[in-house]
């Protein structure tokens, strides 16, 4: 089917093994400005149809070789040609032949001998119908592709807005973060790396976790300033308040529909859960902790340990690695610790950023 509808003269193919019949049909239709083509057998007809574009086919049934039924069936099976209307024009007037013609996809069936007016009006009718359908189809296709483009744009705008929102929130959090403000970025990179080497996670997971993990501590926006920035060790009561940052973030994010925010909600909720069930807020253990949560747990602690906080000095890389290693299977998912140790140089590079 051509995308642009054709507005020129109608192109009509007449197929009949008797040349006189073709002449009679042409004479009948000659008042209209149609462009005619002819074929005197089925094979020739199919060749012409494949090489040219027609708006209507007038088709005899009984022909030597490929008969009209077969020509019709062939055309109707070809998705490019199947829309072209076919009018059978034949001496076969029995009800079974007529039925077969329609069943094979014919649009009309005219028996010979025909009245000139009848042929003319039925041909006109099929041509107008066909053109209307082509125009409708053209508009539908146009409309459809416009809608698709709009939808894609809307989706990518949403995606962009979301990344922007994460960026803004990230910036906001950096004000309450470590000295350099790069904590979030490094945690995102470490997390992506752990996901990348995880044998049952995809690159899509890795990218998702990279986009979502910056929000893991977004709940800290609700923590009072004098607790968040306290230079000393927190009292147990203060630490209880601090611990609410996981659930605060979860409640903030959980109602969004987008994948990134849904993942961010899970990560925020579960990045302080510990493999042995000693973490918070729910005390989940093992694989009950979402893998994204288990991943960010390692990335977060490794980064917090290796960097200065208002309340603590930075540990050396060796001390931090030792801490992760020693808590494999207690605080941390042992498989993830394996990945961490196996690719240690890459994690250290991120920590030194
Ligand atoms: P954070 O500073 O980003 O630390 C994230 C996690 O890294 C901590 O989660 C903890 O698991 C680990 N971590 C950080 N520093 C140390 C450390 O010196 N020793 C050990 N063993 N682990 C460490 P956690 O404990 O749930 O703390 C959550 C957040 O609470 C911390 O995020 C920080 O913002 C705050 N926080 C924790 N303890 C104190 C504190 O004594 N003073 C202040 N001002 N804030 C604290
Ligand atoms: C932040 O995420 O910006 C705060 C630092 C932290 O994760 O403890
Ligand atoms: C701060 O250092 O400003 C607050 C605690 C932290 O996020 O490390
Ligand atoms: C942890 O690694 O989850 C806790 C360590 C700490 O808070 O000292
Ligand atoms: Fe946290
Ligand atoms: Fe953190």
Whole-number Å distance, alpha carbon 305 to ligand 2 midpoint, is 12
pLDDT tens per residue, range 224-270: 778 888 889 999 999 998 998 999 889 878 877 788 889 999 999 99
Measured from the Cα of 229, ligand 1's closest atom is: 44
The residue nearest atom 1 of ligand 4, judged by CA position, is: 331
Whole-number Å distance, alpha carbon 272 to ligand 4 midpoint, is 8
The residue nearest atom 4 of ligand 2, judged by CA position, is: 177
Confidence of residue 162 (pLDDT cuts 50, 70, 90): low
Measured from the Cα of 170, ligand 2's closest atom is: 3
Q: Is the pLDDT of residue 103 over 80?
A: yes
Measured from the Cα of 228, ligand 3's closest atom is: 4
Average confidence score pLDDT of the chain: 89
Ligand 4 cavity residues, CB under 6 Å: 274, 279, 301, 331
The residue nearest atom 5 of ligand 4, judged by CA position, is: 301
The residue nearest atom 2 of ligand 2, judged by CA position, is: 217
**Mean pLDDT score, 150-156:** 65
CB 100 within 8 A of CB 24: no
Q: Say what the pLDDT of residue 180 is.
A: 54
Assign 3-class secondary structure to 240-277.
Answer: HHHHCHHHHHHHHHCCCCCHHHHHHHHHHHHCCCCCCC
**Mean pLDDT score, 287-303:** 98
- Say what percent of the chain tops pLDDT 70: 86
Structural tokens at position 326: 């020693």
Structural tokens at position 35: 């462009």
Q: Say what the pLDDT of residue 1 is.
A: 41
Whole-number Å distance, alpha carbon 310 to ligand 3 midpoint, is 6
Residues contacting residue 224 through CB under 8 Å, at least 6 positions apart: 241
Whole-number Å distance, alpha carbon 343 to ligand 1 midpoint, is 25
Q: Say what the pLDDT of residue 84 is.
A: 96
Whole-number Å distance, alpha carbon 274 to ligand 4 midpoint, is 9
Q: Say what the pLDDT of residue 151 is.
A: 65
Q: Is the pLDDT of residue 2 over 60?
A: no
Q: Say what the pLDDT of residue 163 is.
A: 66
Structural tokens at position 200: 């049952």
Whole-number Å distance, alpha carbon 272 to ligand 5 midpoint, is 6
pTM over 0.85: no
**Mean pLDDT score, 1-8:** 59
Give me the long-range contacts of 20-29 (CB less than 8 A, separation at least 24): 21/60, 21/89, 21/112, 25/58, 25/89, 25/119, 28/116, 28/119, 28/120, 29/119, 29/120, 29/123
The residue nearest atom 5 of ligand 3, judged by CA position, is: 228
pLDDT tens per residue, range 324-349: 999 999 999 999 999 999 999 999 99
Q: Say what the pLDDT of residue 172 is.
A: 60
Asked whether this chain's domains 2-138 and 176-351 adopt the same fold, the reply is: no
pLDDT tens per residue, range 196-225: 999 999 999 999 999 999 889 888 877 877
Per-domain residue ranges of the chain: 2-138, 176-351
Give the CATH number of domain 2-138; options: 3.30.930.10, 3.20.20.100, 3.40.50.720, 3.40.50.2300: 3.40.50.2300
Measured from the Cα of 272, ligand 4's closest atom is: 3
Range name among 95-109, 124-138, 339-353 with the lowest pLDDT average: 124-138
**What is the topology classification, in CATH, of domain 176-351?**
Hypothetical protein af1432 (1.10.3210)
Ligand closest in space to the Cα of 245: 5
**Mean pLDDT score, 111-131:** 91
Ligand 3 cavity residues, CB under 6 Å: 176-178, 228-229, 309-310
Spatial separation of the C-alpha atoms in residues 83 and 49, rounded to whole Å: 12
Whole-number Å distance, alpha carbon 332 to ligand 3 midpoint, is 22
């Amino acid at each position: 089917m051509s995308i642009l509808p054709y507005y020129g003269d109608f192109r009509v193919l007449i197929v009949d093994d008797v040349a006189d019949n073709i002449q009679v049909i042409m004479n009948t239709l000659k008042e209209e400005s149609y462009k005619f083509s002819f074929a005197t057998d089925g094979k020739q007809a199919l060749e012409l149809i494949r090489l040219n574009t027609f708006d209507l086919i007038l088709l005899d049934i009984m022909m030597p070789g490929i008969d009209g039924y077969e020509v019709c069936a062939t055309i109707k099976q070809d998705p490019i040609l199947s829309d072209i209307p076919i009018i059978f024009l034949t001496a076969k007037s029995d009800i079974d032949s007529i039925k077969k013609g329609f069943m094979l996809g014919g649009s009309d069936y005219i028996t010979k001998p025909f009245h000139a007016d009848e042929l003319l009006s039925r041909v006109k009718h099929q041509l107008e119908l066909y053109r209307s359908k082509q125009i409708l189809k053209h508009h539908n296709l146009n409309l459809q592709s416009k809608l698709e483009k709009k939808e894609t744009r809307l989706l990518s705008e949403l995606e962009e807005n979301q990344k922007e929102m994460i960026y803004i929130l990230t910036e906001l959090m950096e004000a309450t973060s470590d000295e350099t403000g790069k904590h979030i970025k490094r945690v995102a990179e470490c997390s992506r790396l752990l996901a990348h080497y995880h044998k049952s996670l995809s690159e899509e997971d890795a990218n998702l976790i990279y986009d979502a993990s910056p929000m893991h501590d977004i709940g800290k926006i609700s923590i009072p300033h004098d607790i968040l920035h306290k230079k000393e060790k927190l009292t147990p009561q203060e630490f209880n308040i601090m611990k609410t940052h996981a659930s605060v973030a979860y409640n903030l994010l959980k109602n969004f529909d987008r994948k990134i925010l849904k993942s961010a909600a899970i990560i925020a909720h579960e990045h302080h859960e510990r493999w042995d069930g000693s973490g918070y807020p729910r005390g989940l253990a093992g694989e009950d902790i979402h893998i994204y949560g288990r991943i960010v747990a390692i990335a977060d602690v490794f980064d917090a340990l290796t960097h200065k906080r208002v309340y603590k000095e930075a540990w050396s890389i060796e001390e931090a690695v030792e801490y992760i290693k020693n808590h494999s299977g207690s605080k941390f998912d042992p498989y993830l610790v394996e990945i961490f140790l196996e690719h240690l140089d890459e994690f250290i590079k991120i920590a030194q950023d």
